[in-house]
Structure 1
Amino acid sequence: MTASLGAVLLMLCLLQIKHMFADFYLQTPKMLSGRGEYFHWGRAQHAGVHVIGSVIVFLLFGAPWSFILIIAGLEWIVHFNIDFAKASYSDKKQLSPTQAAYWRAAGLDQFMHNLTYIAMVWAWVKFTT
């Protein structure tokens, strides 16, 4: 592992910033509605927004295109399914923001996304530096 600690931390911070914007500022009504069904075009688009942000981050760090394409595809699949699991669970339990279980589901969703970014940065260090 030859990446500096500073580069790792900067990449993690940039992925967190990307996540904040993609999850909380850039979602459209189409992305937010009907999320309990698995084959949901809005969720696919939402995961795509995340992938575009991650591609930008990895390009800033000079990652090779082969790595970027693989990591982007994996991120899309993982993000899509994490979001589906939360939406499906929340729909089945009929959760609303006034319930603690809603916030536990939202917290677990965000935790899983954060673990994804840790894995992505690990892969960058392991395979590209």
Structure 2
Amino acid sequence: MPASFGAVFLLLCLLQVKHMFADYYLQTPKMLSGRGTYFHVGRAQHAAVHVVGSVIIFALFRAPIEFILIIAALEWIVHFHIDFAKASYSDRKQLHPNQAAFWRAAGLDQLLHNLTYIGMAWAWVTFAA
């Protein structure tokens, strides 16, 4: 049976709430410093916080464990690289919050994360619901 609109809407809402907490409440100083370096342990930890939240959400939606493991790995990779791209660009351009380019970079970063959640919801509907 295909997923209902309500279930997809709830899934997307929960992923948004998870994103807000992981990006704005649960980041540590280690996660926030030195993000322009590719092999950054803090960014890896930050992406892992996102994954833990998504795993909980998909478990609540009774997604198969195989689906959860695959979507978790893909989310970690995508989140890690979106954040690296923003950080390295911001560092290279020496962007600061008082510059419009800083906010464009931040907005693009958030858009890409939101599109990731739309992709994850599509995958759930297609492969797990």
- Identify the TM-score tier after normalising by the shorter chain: over 0.9
Aligned counterpart, 1:39: 39
Aligned counterpart, 1:114: 114
Deviation by residue 1:36-62 (Cα, 9 ceiling, x = unmatched): 000000000000000000000000100
Aligned counterpart, 1:96: 96
Amino acid at match of 1:21: F
Deviation by residue 1:6-37 (Cα, 9 ceiling, x = unmatched): 00000000000000000000000000000000
Amino acid at match of 1:33: S
Per the TM alignment, residue 74 of structure 1 is displaced from its structure 2 partner at its CA by 0.1
Please say if 1:67 is aligned against 2:61. no
Aligned counterpart, 1:27: 27
Root mean square deviation of aligned Cα? 0.7
Matched residues in 1 for 2:127 and 2:42: separation?
A: 32
Counterparts in 2 of 1:48-87, with a 5 A limit? 48-87=48-87
The count of aligned residue pairs is: 129
Amino acid at match of 2:47: A
Amino acid at match of 1:79: H
Per the TM alignment, residue 127 of structure 1 is displaced from its structure 2 partner at its CA by 0.3
Matched residues in 1 for 2:11 and 2:27: separation?
A: 23
What is the TM-score with the length of structure 1 in the denominator?
0.99
What is the TM-score with the length of structure 2 in the denominator?
0.99
Matched residues in 2 for 1:117 and 1:8: separation?
A: 11
Amino acid at match of 2:96: S
Per the TM alignment, residue 128 of structure 1 is displaced from its structure 2 partner at its CA by 1.1
SS of match in other structure, 1:94: coil
User: Mind listing any 5+ residue stretches in structure 2 that lack a counterpart?
Assistant: none
Aligned counterpart, 1:6: 6
Amino acid at match of 1:72: A
Task: Flag as ranges the 4+ runs of structure 1 deviating above 6 A.
Answer: none
SS of match in other structure, 1:35: coil
User: Mind listing any 5+ residue stretches in structure 1 that lack a counterpart?
Assistant: none
